[in-house]
């Protein structure tokens, strides 16, 4: 028996390593060839999934396009541009596999699963790419920390709770990163992984096109492995994945219920991909995209920095910077940094959003998901380096505790907000309330996307109110043709040349036919028409048409008594609060109509109910002050106006406050309020400032105020009336008569003209 046999060991070469193996392979096997990575992936994904599942929206979420994607997936239709074929097909498959719950909830579960798997896969990316080759648990801990950092980012958590495609986009991004990082025993790259990456990239672009922003970074990571033949084959696999977009024309040709853009023709298909009929690639309809001028970069970079701090916290951001610094010579880190910069800060600069607008964070939020994947990976590699520098279990545990405290303590609010959606029924309640407001066969004219998508979801996924016809997309050629084909009775015969002609024809034809037409927002009222709020909708009628306001008010009140609106959690996102604002605004507008019909007490009750839903609705506070003035409760009016001004400073609110002071006889306070509003350009305030001056014995000053009004607007009627009174009080009867003559000429009311004539006759005698 040889010595090697007696020891029971394997045959060894001269160097003491097993025969046929390289020394670097032996060094890696104890730490990297075990099952711990698989355990890490399963445990972290399961933990994140349970957390997300607990905080899911219980039904359809109010988030952006959730209703359209849920309805399109359920019916296998064509969603809004660019169509999202991968998400629709995955969603429909998932709906068949999970038969429990509403369609919206089941797709929320799909997003939770995708987001959780993205966190687990990111942990494996950090594990595979960690620089420390020694066996041990530190790279595993760094990977887990990176996955948790991503999973608890507020935007990522929120988008993993809604029926949108963004968490699936994160999963594809994490998978591409994992495939791009070579294993330690394959430093030359893996052609099969490259081919799989190309195929996955093509498929991923069928889920969301922003994935293209990460391509330069991924290519930089794969560059050492790229050969001409490999690149050609990768192009073929990429084209194969991208061919998923052929779903759009094929499905459109079959005539689905939802057929956005009708992309069965080449022209419509290309316009669909380019979002030509959906505002292009702009994130905000009022803000054009682009990187010019460079002078605007400062605001964009500041917005980007604030967004990353909000999502990752200062600890996560600093760890990411440390990971970049310590790994700056590694192609993996360089590529991840490039992918982050292109999909994050550069994209935010290009989007050109206004940081001061309240909706900016909500618009930007979904576009942070992909860069967060790469930022969290960089932070994980930074954590791995720091843990590798702390020898001993005690120091490692201390470093981990410090990192955990730095991450979690500033994020307690984010943790609370993450569980907020579980009691949020705002989209469901709004959809049912809007449907209850519409009579049978009603037309809903040009609704906003959230309204249209929620109605579409309720009709197609739950069979509710299919009799309501939403008039959408008729300003596009395909929308016009679809409307004429599906609802031919809604349009008059003959060809219409443009969208304005189409809108006019729709209104004339259907109002003449007695069809009820409603709007979701009163500011969309076309010229020559007026609206009356009925529940959550607004009944459209031509100007001058007989409208029984009392009957409509009674019906609206009955609808409100039957409606069910549940409050949303106080830390709800922008879209939940926006949906709740529909209810508050409708109540506020109904209060205006009640006040106009001479019932200020009912108006007050409606304003009060509006403010219960949205206490920060400044318009409702202002209008409740107006109702209090009608009821001669000037103290209550003052409080309402002050509350309105605290929420939304405006010259009109300051003027109204001055009116309350004036009517209460508090002339000094009224003078200050009117002067402030007049300085902001309010002619009404300048006119009433003259009244205060005259009542306090300063008639000459009052005259100067009214003359200054006429220098700015010659036909300001009340200024002539007040000048007539002031000049008569000063004994200047000729000037008073001149002012009254102009007043009589400008007055439109016959009674006012007769009174002015009698006044003038008295002055001239």
287 strand-pairing partners = 284
Nearest to 567 by CA among 421, 434, 426: 426
Task: Copy the structure tokens of residue 374.
Answer: 């790469």
pLDDT at 404: 63
Provide DSSP, 134-186.
S-SSHHHHHHHHHHHHHHTSHHHHHHTSSSSSHHHHHHHHHHHHHHHS--TT-
Distance CA 358, CA 445 (A): 27
Distance CA 153, CA 44 (A): 15
Task: Copy the structure tokens of residue 15.
Answer: 């160097």
Taking the CB of residue 489, how many other CB atoms lie within 10 A of it?
Answer: 9
Q: Are the beta carbons of 571 and 54 closer than 8 angstroms?
A: no
537 strand-pairing partners = 534
Task: Copy the structure tokens of residue 440.
Answer: 């049978």
Distance CA 11, CA 18 (A): 6
Distances (CA, A) of 410 to 48, 154, 414, 469, 626: 20, 12, 9, 48, 43
Locus of tokens 């979690």: 408
HEC profile of 54-122? HCCCCCCCCCCCHHHHHHHHHHCCECCCCCCHHHHHHHHHHHHHCCCCCHHHHHHHHHHHHHHHHHHHH
Helices 634-647 + 651-663 axis angle, to 10: 160
Distance CA 723, CA 737 (A): 10
Distance CA 612, CA 614 (A): 6
Distance CA 664, CA 119 (A): 63
Residues 6+ apart with CB under 8 A from 470: 444, 447, 452, 455, 456
Q: Are the beta carbons of 651 and 677 closer than 8 angstroms?
A: yes
Biggest alpha carbon–alpha carbon distance for the chain: 145
What is the sign of the dihedral through the CA atoms of 146, 152, 154 and 157?
Answer: positive
HEC profile of 148-161? HHHHCCHHHHHHCC
* DSSP category for residue 409: G
pLDDT at 413: 62
Q: What angle do CA 118, 120, 126 make, to 5 degrees?
A: 100
Taking the CB of residue 321, how many other CB atoms lie within 10 A of it?
Answer: 13
pLDDT at 395: 62
Distance CA 631, CA 621 (A): 15
15 phi/psi in degrees, rounded to 5 = -80, -5
pLDDT at 4: 38
Residues in the chain with pLDDT values less than 70: 1-34, 131-137, 184-190, 390-417
What region does 392 belong to: left with phi over 0, alpha with psi -120 to 50, or beta?
left
pLDDT at 23: 42
Task: Copy the structure tokens of residue 323.
Answer: 């990971």
Locus of tokens 């019909």: 597
pLDDT at 408: 59
303 phi/psi in degrees, rounded to 5 = -60, -40
Q: Is the peptide bond before 293 cis (omega within 30 degrees of 0)?
A: yes
Helical (H) or strand (E) element with 444? strand 443-445
First vs last Cα of the chain: how many Å apart? 145
Distance CA 626, CA 633 (A): 10
Q: What angle do CA 542, 548, 550 make, to 5 degrees?
A: 135
Distance CA 192, CA 354 (A): 44
pLDDT at 421: 84
282: Cα separation from own chain's centroid: 13
């Amino acid at each position: 028996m040889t010595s090697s046999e007696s020891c029971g060991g394997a045959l060894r070469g001269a160097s003491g390593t097993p025969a046929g193996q390289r020394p670097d392979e032996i060094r890696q096997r104890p730490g990297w060839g075990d099952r711990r990575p698989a355990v890490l992936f399963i445990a972290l994904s399961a933990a994140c999934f349970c957390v997300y599942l607990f905080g899911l929206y219980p039904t359809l979420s109010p988030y952006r396009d959730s209703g359209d994607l849920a309805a399109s997936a359920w019916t296998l239709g064509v969603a809004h541009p660019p169509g999202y074929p991968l998400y629709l097909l995955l969603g429909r498959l998932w709906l068949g596999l999970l038969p429990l719950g509403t369609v919206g909830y089941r797709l929320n579960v799909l997003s939770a699963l995708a987001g959780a798997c993205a966190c687990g896969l990111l942990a494996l990316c950090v594990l595979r790419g960690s620089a420390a080759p020694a066996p041990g648990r530190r790279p595993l801990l760094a990977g887990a920390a990176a996955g948790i950092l991503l999973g608890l980012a507020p935007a990522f958590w929120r988008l993993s709770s809604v029926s949108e495609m963004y968490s699936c986009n994160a999963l594809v991004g994490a998978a591409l990163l994992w495939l791009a990082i070579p294993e330690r025993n394959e430093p030359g790259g893996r052609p099969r992984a490259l081919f799989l990456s190309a195929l996955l990239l093509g498929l991923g672009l069928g889920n969301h096109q922003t994935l293209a922003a990460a391509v330069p970074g991924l290519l930089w990571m794969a560059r050492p492995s790229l050969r001409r033949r490999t690149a050609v084959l990768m192009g073929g696999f990429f084209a194969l994945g991208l061919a998923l977009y052929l779903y759009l024309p094929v499905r459109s040709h079959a005539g689905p219920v939802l057929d956005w853009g009708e992309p069965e023709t080449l022209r419509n298909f290309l316009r669909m991909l380019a979002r030509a009929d959906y505002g292009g690639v702009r994130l905000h309809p009022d803000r054009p995209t682009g990187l010019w001028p460079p002078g605007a970069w400062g605001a964009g970079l500041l917005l980007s920095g604030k967004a990353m701090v909000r999502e990752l916290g200062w600890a996560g951001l600093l760890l990411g910077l440390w990971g970049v610094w310590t790994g700056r010579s590694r192609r993996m880190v360089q590529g991840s940094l490039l992918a982050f910069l292109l999909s994050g800060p550069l994209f935010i600069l290009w989007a050109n959003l206004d940081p001061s607008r309240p909706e900016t964070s909500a618009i930007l939020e979904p576009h942070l998901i992909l860069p967060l994947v790469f930022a969290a990976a960089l932070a994980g590699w930074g954590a791995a380096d720091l843990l590798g520098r702390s020898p001993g279990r005690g120091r490692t545990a201390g470093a981990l505790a410090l990192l955990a405290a730095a991450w979690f303590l500033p994020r307690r609010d984010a943790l609370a907000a993450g569980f907020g959606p579980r009691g949020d029924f705002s989209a469901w309640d709004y959809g049912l309330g809007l449907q209850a407001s519409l009579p049978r066969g009603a037309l809903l004219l040009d609704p906003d996307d959230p309204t249209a998508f929620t109605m579409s979801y309720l009709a197609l996924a739950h069979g509710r109110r299919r009799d309501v016809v939403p008039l959408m997309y008729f300003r596009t050629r395909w929308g016009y043709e679809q409307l004429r084909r599906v609802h031919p009775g809604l349009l008059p015969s003959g060809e219409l040349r443009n969208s304005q002609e189409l809108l006019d024809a729709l209104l004339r034809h259907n109002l003449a036919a007695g069809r009820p037409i409603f709007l979701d927002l009163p500011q969309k009222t076309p010229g020559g028409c007026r609206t009356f709020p009925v529940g959550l909708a607004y009944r459209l009628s031509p100007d001058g048409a007989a409208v029984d306001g009392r009957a409509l008010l009674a019906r609206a009140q009955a609808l409100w008594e039957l409606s069910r609106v549940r409050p949303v959690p106080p830390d709800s996102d922008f879209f939940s609060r926006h949906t709740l604002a529909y209810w508050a605004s409708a109540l506020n507008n109904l209060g205006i109509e009640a006040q106009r019909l001479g019932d200020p007490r009912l108006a007050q009750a409606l304003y009060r109910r509006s403010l219960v839903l949205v206490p920060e609705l400044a318009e409702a506070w202002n209008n409740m002050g107006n109702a209090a003035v009608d009821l001669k409760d000037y103290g209550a009016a003052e409080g309402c106006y002050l509350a309105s001004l605290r929420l939304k400073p405006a010259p009109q609110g300051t003027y109204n406050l001055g009116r309350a002071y004036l009517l209460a006889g508090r002339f000094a306070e009224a003078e200050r309020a009117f002067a402030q509003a007049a300085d902001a350009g309010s002619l009404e305030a300048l006119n009433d400032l003259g009244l205060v001056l005259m009542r306090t014995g300063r008639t000459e000053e009052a005259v100067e105020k009214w003359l200054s009004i006429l220098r700015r607007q010659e036909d300001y009627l009340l200024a002539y009336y007040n000048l007539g009174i002031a000049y008569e009080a000063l004994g200047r009867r000729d000037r008073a008569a001149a002012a009254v003559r102009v007043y009589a000429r400008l007055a439109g009311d016959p009674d006012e003209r007769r009174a002015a004539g009698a006044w003038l006759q008295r002055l001239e005698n």
